[in-house]
Chains A and B, each alone.
Chain A
Amino acid sequence: MTDATQSLIEQVNSARAEQRHLRIVGGDSKAFMGRETTEGESLEVGRHNGIVSYEPVELVLTARAGTPLAEIEAALAEHHQMLAFEPPHFGGGATIGGTLACNQSGPARPWSGSVRDMVLGLRLINGRGEHLRFGGQVIKNVAGYDVSRLQAGALGTLGVITEVSLKVMPIPAVTLTLVQEMPADQAIAQMNRYSGLPKPLTGAFWLDGKLYLRLAGAESAVNGTAQQWGGERLEDADTLWQQLNNHQLDFFNTDRLLWRFSVNSAAPHWQPQQNWLLDWGGSQRWLSGDGDPAVMTEQAGAAGGQVSLFRGGDRQSEVSPALAPPLQKLHQRLKVAMDPDGIFNKGRLYGWM
């Protein structure tokens, strides 16, 4: 548990004065994400770590950005609480700051919300070397712009997150996984139908002809629903959900490209001959294999969403969806508003930023 605020600020200030670039590194577990860049010296946030405060009764935890997720989750588990957004750990070292910067959430995301949803406030060092505080430690706060949630997905291009306050949730009393066999198109319909019912669903993904459904909540509700819905009950299912979350299933373990489609959950299945994993009740669809980015973009658009090249391939080119010109202009202006000299994570998110 160390407070490295001062040295982080100093490093930012000297980089700014000498017009050098900085590469913000948390646990470096997600180096594969975003574009490949080598520019700049690394700014190690991992050494700024530790839980600052945790009030189980308030359902609020505040931690320095470099705190490993594992440490946070262990502290929560002692009070039978958890991070409801189930962040992936990708090999173990992931930090809470990196998780927010990447906006990474796990299987429960459509039902329990994302890391962005659970952020109540944060502290951050902007490109002027100012250490700022936004939001707070209370559930509701609408004073000023929501600079905290703006950081979700920014990949550290707008500032160095130094501290995060999160809403945490009780661990559900009972969890149970059902398996139903069906092809992908039927699974999409089924996942959406089930999501529209007032039942304790907290996970739904399809792979290789099988639909996996996770129920979690009060014992009576979980068992009642399992009986109504039917399907085979899967033993030791926690491991399966963790493997899904951390990309350890065989589906992910290839040298092939990995594409992430974020689309309308009910969009019809396309290109069924390809290698798919359908998660988040149909709204996050993974495609493993080669493909023409232009065609992929068109397909994502038709399905009401976007596609990004999550892993592998040419990471010198753009890997995130292209932005319409007015939106790109706005992103550039926002970057200037937070990091006027462009010192943070140059080219990490987009080549032009």
Chain B
Amino acid sequence: MTTATAENGTTDIKSDLAAEFARFLKPGCIIADQETQKPYECDGLSMYCEMPLLVVLPETVEQVQQVLRLCHQRAVPVVARGAGTGLCAGAMPHSEGVLLSLAKFNRILDIDPLARTARLQPGVRNLAISEAAWPHGLYYGPDPSSQIACSIGGNVAENSGGVHCLKYGLTVHNLLQVEMITVEGERLVIGSEGLDSGGPDLLALITGSEGLLGVITEVTVKLLPMPEKAQVVMAAFDSVQTAGEAVSAVISRGIIPAGLEMMDKHAIVAAEAFVQAGYPTEAEALLLCEVDGTQEEVQEHIQQVSELFEGMGASIRVSHDDAERALLWKGRKSAFPAVGRISPDYYCMDGTIPRGQLAPVLLAMQEMSERHGLRVANVFHAGDGNLHPLILFDANVPGEFERAEAFGGEILELCVAVGGCITGEHGVGVEKIRQMAIQFRDEEIAQFHAIKAAFDPVGTLNPGKGIPVLKNCQEYRALKPDGMQPMAHVHGSTS
């Protein structure tokens, strides 16, 4: 096929589809021109980008069904998009497909204070749920650092976590019901207002499925009572090793902190320069340990944790009020942008490891850092062993992004080798698709494909993401691998 016919073919499909969509979507809800499409070309991982044929922004569930039906009939790929804050290029458009934005589905449909539930459209922002629940003394548990922007639909698709998921669980633990449209345009209701509906747990299967199994159009979540009190202990250690041991020591005490986060020296210095939280910049490692519960409980646990940290040689600071607590957390929550200021670009990894492996893995990363000639800053969910190494690089220096990727790949291999996994909360998307083969064998990947085919027989929902194509599996070759975009598409990650 020559380039000319390819382009003509694409143009025909594009104008055909646009005309079909125009029958039921308002003109402003179909974006066909490149300039207006530009903001949709990537998610939070902007190294990977692509232009879709069309962007559509339906306003009703029926319109979503119609879009999906039409695309299914024509075997046109569909990529769902929430707020586009994803970090694995999961929402990156398909060059021959439709990008389906859920941005117009931004209404909180119902808050039931007595039953402690919230019924939401998928585009509702994560933080907006808690804001609506606060007047009732309730909040929504999972709190990704991107919570001001990311959508609940995206959270379900990624099974997002946050700093409080050690105690309150991931998205999957906080869901009751999901309404989903299949690739064929059929509406499914999965789960109920009760707990543990019978039959195989489809709700869990959908959660974290990265938009590969269906388009989520409504979500019912559980709400939790606001704790009476929360207090944070900041502990500064002079070695990463001791800080890692302190994490295990807290858990061994039988205390489950609401959050237990760690930062290394690079991250401490960057965050302190950014928000002036009062972090000790001479420390090698910093722990933030939050305890919540009743007044009495918090007092008891804070004392135990403080004594434990001090006994291990840390200097500590305990928050006295909510303002101080918020300040101590602010440094942690803005650590990514803070690191963005000390380097032109950074590449965020998301591997998980057993807690006991923290210290050796951090040391091994230091060694890799020297070998690859790239700095690495560490900010992570220490309590649940979820690392976020930020590899610092400059995309304008030829070869640096490739080196950063190689470094990142090595970190993920190490995570798997010590009993962990390649992604704790950011998902696989396009980015980690090659590392899937480190964690899974061909039979397991083939089982994933079979499950995918049960939902999406033709394979047009978010193709090329999440599950790698098996080399020796001819039937899946039809899907375009899309593993990497040519380097011409790569630009900086902090822009």
Taking Cβ atoms with an 8 Å cutoff, the residues of A that contact B are 55-60, 80, 103, 105, 109-110, 113-114, 116-117, 126, 130, 132-134, 136-147, 149-154, 157-158, 169-171, 173, 189, 192-193, 195-200, 217-221, 224-225, 261-267, 280, 283-284, 303-306, 308, 320-321, 323-324, 326-327, 330-331, 333-334, 336-338, 349-350
Quick check: B196 and A132 within 8 Å, CB to CB?
no
CA distance A267 to B193 in the complex (A): 10
The residue of chain B having its C-beta at the shortest distance from the C-beta of A131 within the complex is B443
The residue of chain B having its C-beta at the shortest distance from the C-beta of A157 within the complex is B200
Q: Which of B199, B213, B293 has the largest count of A CB atoms less than 10 A from its CB?
A: B199
CA distance A106 to B112 in the complex (A): 25
The residue of chain A having its C-beta at the shortest distance from the C-beta of B208 within the complex is A142
Quick check: A330 and B188 within 8 Å, CB to CB?
yes
Which residues of A lie under 8 Å from residue B199 when comparing CB positions?
153-154, 320, 323, 331, 349-350
Distance in angstroms from A167 CB to nearest chain B CB is 10
Quick check: A170 and B256 within 8 Å, CB to CB?
yes
The residue of chain B having its C-beta at the shortest distance from the C-beta of A301 within the complex is B192
Contact (A196, B169) CB under 8 Å given A217-B297, A218-B301: no
Taking Cβ atoms with an 8 Å cutoff, the residues of B that contact A are 112-117, 136-138, 158-159, 161, 165-166, 169-170, 172-173, 182, 186-190, 192-202, 204-205, 207-209, 213, 225-228, 248, 251-252, 254-256, 293-297, 299-301, 352-356, 381, 384-386, 419-428, 432, 436, 439-441, 443-445, 447-448, 450-455, 466-467
Quick check: A139 and B443 within 8 Å, CB to CB?
no
Quick check: A139 and B451 within 8 Å, CB to CB?
no
CA distance A157 to B199 in the complex (A): 9
Quick check: B424 and A337 within 8 Å, CB to CB?
no
CA distance A267 to B423 in the complex (A): 39
CA distance A303 to B112 in the complex (A): 14
CA distance A14 to B128 in the complex (A): 55
Quick check: A220 and B207 within 8 Å, CB to CB?
no
Quick check: A153 and B201 within 8 Å, CB to CB?
yes
Quick check: A220 and B300 within 8 Å, CB to CB?
yes
Quick check: B467 and A192 within 8 Å, CB to CB?
no
Which residues of A lie under 8 Å from residue B299 when comparing CB positions?
220
CA distance A217 to B296 in the complex (A): 11
Residue of A140, A262, A326 touching B386 (CB-CB under 8 A): A140
Quick check: A144 and B444 within 8 Å, CB to CB?
yes
Quick check: B196 and A153 within 8 Å, CB to CB?
yes
Contact (A137, B196) CB under 8 Å given A147-B451, A170-B254: no
Quick check: B197 and A305 within 8 Å, CB to CB?
yes
Quick check: A116 and B454 within 8 Å, CB to CB?
no
CA distance A116 to B207 in the complex (A): 13
Quick check: B201 and A142 within 8 Å, CB to CB?
no
Quick check: A139 and B194 within 8 Å, CB to CB?
no
Quick check: A220 and B296 within 8 Å, CB to CB?
yes
CA distance A110 to B176 in the complex (A): 12
Quick check: A141 and B200 within 8 Å, CB to CB?
no
CA distance A282 to B170 in the complex (A): 24
Contact (A140, B205) CB under 8 Å given A57-B252, A57-B356: no
Which residues of B lie under 8 Å from residue A263 when comparing CB positions?
192-194
Residue of B117, B201, B294 touching A149 (CB-CB under 8 A): B201
Quick check: A142 and B424 within 8 Å, CB to CB?
yes
Which residues of A lie under 8 Å from residue B194 when comparing CB positions?
261-265, 283-284, 303-306
CA distance A55 to B228 in the complex (A): 32
Quick check: A196 and B195 within 8 Å, CB to CB?
no
Quick check: B200 and A154 within 8 Å, CB to CB?
yes
The residue of chain B having its C-beta at the shortest distance from the C-beta of A172 within the complex is B254
The residue of chain A having its C-beta at the shortest distance from the C-beta of B453 within the complex is A337
Residue of A109, A142, A323 touching B159 (CB-CB under 8 A): A142
CA distance A154 to B295 in the complex (A): 42
Residue of A117, A198, A280 touching B294 (CB-CB under 8 A): A198
Contact (A221, B419) CB under 8 Å given A304-B192, A306-B192: no
Q: Can you add 4 more A-B contacts, CB < 8 Å, to A114-B195, A143-B421, A265-B115?
A: A149-B205, A157-B200, A262-B195, A280-B195
The residue of chain A having its C-beta at the shortest distance from the C-beta of B248 within the complex is A57
Could you jot down 16 A-B contacts, CB within 8 Å?
Answer: A114-B196, A138-B420, A139-B385, A142-B423, A142-B428, A143-B440, A149-B205, A154-B200, A157-B200, A173-B254, A196-B136, A218-B293, A262-B198, A266-B114, A326-B188, A327-B189
Which residues of A lie under 8 Å from residue B196 when comparing CB positions?
103, 105, 109, 114, 116, 153, 262, 284
Which residues of B lie under 8 Å from residue A152 when comparing CB positions?
200-201, 204
The residue of chain A having its C-beta at the shortest distance from the C-beta of B384 within the complex is A139
Which residues of B lie under 8 Å from residue A145 when comparing CB positions?
205, 208-209, 213, 448, 451-452
The residue of chain A having its C-beta at the shortest distance from the C-beta of B419 within the complex is A137
Quick check: A130 and B443 within 8 Å, CB to CB?
yes
Residue of A193, A262, A264, A337 touching B450 (CB-CB under 8 A): A337
CA distance A193 to B116 in the complex (A): 10
Which residues of B lie under 8 Å from residue A103 when comparing CB positions?
196, 198, 201
Quick check: B451 and A334 within 8 Å, CB to CB?
yes
Which residues of A lie under 8 Å from residue B173 when comparing CB positions?
113, 117
Distance in angstroms from A214 CB to nearest chain B CB is 16
Which residues of A lie under 8 Å from residue B445 when comparing CB positions?
144
